Chains A and B, each alone.
Chain A
């Protein structure tokens, strides 16, 4: 360490320390600046942010229709084999979605199924209170709208 560097550090060191101090002092003196959620108390007003990853959900429009074509890309991309897409044929003999099986207990919310979907018909739901005492309730059929989760 040269002499000039030494004296440079002696002068700039305290200045940078004071800068840090001013930031924390600002935070300390403004208790309303808190960024944490007070969870059980703000249950009524709590809104999850846009990118929150809850369970996987099939997007249904206002008529209760989804755009899934049972191509099975999500099933192939799932690293935990949580998804099984069971297809059937409709009256015209065309392949359509029969049952979208989703096992939430083995899902890690990695989001690969959503990324791999070519039609954009999957998304992450925003519900987060998913604890259950019954293991069977984690086995969901996503294209059934009622009785899920």
Chain B
């Protein structure tokens, strides 16, 4: 048990300014905290600290996941409104900030019922699976140098595996609903997710290849330095292309518009979660938003330097930027990418199913393979900023 939670030593390449970011190897858990230290020092059972830390980790992940969802719902409604020349929620509280609280409360008090003829076990299992999967991803993500639950050496393959779990939710939810449109949506959605997983894995492989590690902390450490050391700029042109492809593929993985084939409101009402009400529906809804946080956190780790401050190389400015905690930088980057996802959603149109498939297999997959080859070539030739 203990060995899983051991933090890896920081990689050999270090910039002096970042020394304080690295976790000392004799720490047993990613979240050094006041409560755990107190238990370790004063309680008769120092081993209890591990249990306390596990509880704290669970609370932390839940806080990031469930705490962000109302903020994101509010943000989505506001972004959508302003894109469409509206104001959005304005009545409840200052600029409608309490609107999501009211909506969530309403959703939680609704009756949970199922239509006739559903496969009851699978029907109620699907939202649970769908809500479980994104929390796994959140546990792997370093939100700051000291704000991570587990630092896995194989975090990137683990995230690819976890993404596959989200597919079950769509498939089972649509299958068990006893509704032909839900079934259609489930089949479409799973076909889409399986196809785009190939590209997602390839683009992650690209990042792993250029950083030389599959651990998220090492990927961030490989980008330490100024803004120009982030992978989006460090590999000239290729980095930006890879970032664009990543945004594209992760939007498809998230099942968000313009790739919301599974949900497609105009054709299939709500797709696989048409028949769900109340809490079960809320769980699907929550999943969508926690998945967005996970995807944009990955995007910021892979291309925007993760929790590192955007240093510009001028010492006076950099000192000021380093005063801001890394957690704030991480969340600033996450929310910037979330804003991008929302702008995509409310700007672009949904392609047809066949267009979606040909986009993946005829464009993204070959371009990903070319990107991978070019990236290897650039690294081998040393064409790195």
Contact = CB atoms under 8 A, between A and B. Distances in A.
Contacts of A25: 343
Interface in B337-382: 343, 346-348, 362-363
A64 interface: no
Nearest to B79: A28
Contacts of B343: 21, 24-25, 28
B87 A38 contact: yes
A25 B85 CA distance: 11
A4 to B, nearest CB: 15
B320 interface: no
A17 B348 contact: yes
Contacts of B90: 38
Contacts of B83: 24, 27-28
A7 to B, nearest CB: 11
A34 B347 contact: no
Nearest to A29: B82
A93 interface: no
Interface residues of A, number: 16
Contact of B347 (A10, A24, A31, A38): A24
Q: Interface residues of B: mostly helix, strand, loop or mixed?
A: helix
A38 B79 CA distance: 18
Contacts of B85: 27, 33-36
A34 B87 contact: yes
Contacts of A17: 348
Interface string A10-46: 1000000100110111011001011110100000000
A128 interface: no
Nearest to A17: B348
B33 interface: no
Contacts of A20: 347-348
A27 B82 contact: yes
Q: Which of B83, B85, B343 has the most CB of A within 10 A?
A: B85
Give the bracket for the number of chain B residues in contact with chain A. 10 to 19
Contacts of A36: 85-87
A68 B84 CA distance: 45
A10 B370 CA distance: 15
A36 B86 CA distance: 6
Given A35-B85, A36-B87, A6 B362 contact: yes
Interface string B38-80: 0000000000000000000000000000000000000000010
Interface centre among A6, A20, A36, A38 (most CB of B within 10 A): A36
Given A6-B362, A10-B363, A24-B343, A34 B348 contact: no
A34 B82 CA distance: 7
Given A6-B362, A10-B363, A24 B86 contact: no
B58 to A, nearest CB: 37
Contacts of B347: 20-21, 23-24
A38 B348 CA distance: 27
B90 to A, nearest CB: 7
Contacts of A27: 82-85
Interface in B148-176: none
Contacts of A35: 85-86
Nearest to B358: A1
Nearest to A25: B343
A49 B228 CA distance: 54
Contacts of A31: 82, 87
A76 B363 CA distance: 63
A23 B82 CA distance: 12
Interface in B79-124: 79, 82-87, 90
Contacts of B363: 10
Interface string A31-75: 101111010000000000000000000000000000000000000
A79 to B, nearest CB: 31
Interface in A94-121: none
Given A6-B362, A38-B87, 20 more contacts: A17-B348, A20-B347, A21-B347, A21-B348, A23-B347, A24-B83, A24-B343, A27-B82, A27-B84, A28-B79, A28-B82, A31-B87, A33-B85, A34-B82, A34-B86, A35-B85, A36-B85, A36-B86, A36-B87, A38-B90
Interface of B: 79, 82-87, 90, 343, 346-348, 362-363
17 contacts: A6-B362, A20-B348, A21-B343, A21-B348, A23-B347, A24-B343, A24-B346, A27-B82, A27-B83, A27-B84, A33-B85, A34-B82, A34-B85, A34-B87, A35-B85, A35-B86, A38-B87
Interface of A: 6, 10, 17, 20-21, 23-25, 27-28, 31, 33-36, 38
CB-based closest 8 A-B pairs: A24-B347, A24-B83, A35-B85, A28-B82, A36-B86, A20-B347, A34-B85, A28-B83
